[in-house]
Amino acid sequence: MDESAGWREVTAITALKARYCRYLDTKRWAEWRALFTDGFVSDTSAAGGQVVTGADAFVAYIRATLGDGRPTVHQVHNPELELTSATTATGVWALHDVVRLGPGFDLHGYGHYHETYEKQGGTWRIATSALTRVREDIRTPLVAVRLTPRLRDAGAALARRRGL
C-alpha cells in the first residue's frame, strides 16, 4: 500500500471513531450500531465493567445503561493507528468522558480505548474495544472526589445489586 493510500485509510478510521463519539453522545443508536462488526467484542473489565460479545448485545447494554436522556460527552485524541493489512488495523485512543450520574453529579473518566478494526465492503468498522482507565473523578459544583479502583468496584457492586 502506498503512503497516500495508507493515509486515506487512517483518515477513514479516525472519522469512524469521531462518529462513534458523536452518535453515542447524541443517542443515535441505529447509526452507532452500524459502526461495529456483527461479532464486535467490548471489554471494560479492566475499568470495572464486563465483556459483552456481539454488536447488538453491546448497543442494547449501553442503551439500557445510559438511556436516551442521560447526557454524556466522549472525546478521544492522540490516535496511535497501525494498518496491519489492507483490511485490518489496530489503534489506541486517549479518552476523556463525562457521564451525568444525576443532577449536579458528573463522572469524569480518563483512560484509553485499545481497538481493532476491520474493513468490510469498503467500510471500516470497530471489531474489538477494550477500555482501560487511568483515573475517575466524581464532580459536583462544590467538590471533586477521585474514585480509587476499590471505591469504583464497591460502587459498581452496589449498582448491580440495585439493578442499575
Give the C-alpha separation, 154 to 160, whole Å: 10
- Can you tell me the mean pLDDT for 68-80? 94
More confident residue, 141 or 127: 127
- The yes-or-no verdict on residue 152 having pLDDT over 80 is no
Q: Would residue 18 be called left, alpha or beta, if left means φ above 0 and alpha means ψ between -120 and 50 degrees?
A: alpha
Average pLDDT over residues 9-14: 98
Tell me the average pLDDT across 21-30. 97
Q: How far apart, in whole angstroms, are the C-alpha atoms of residue 9 and residue 81? A: 10
pLDDT at residue 162 above 80? no
Distance, CA of 85 to CA of 142 (rounded, Å): 50
141-155 mean pLDDT? 77
- Measured CA to CA, the distance from residue 131 to residue 155 in angstroms comes to 18
Mean predicted lDDT score pLDDT of the chain: 92
- Amino acid 16 reads L
pTM over 0.95: no
Distances (CA, A) of 94 to 10, 13, 74, 124, 155: 16, 15, 11, 20, 24
Dist CA 151 CA 159 (whole Å): 12
> What amino acid occupies position 101?
L
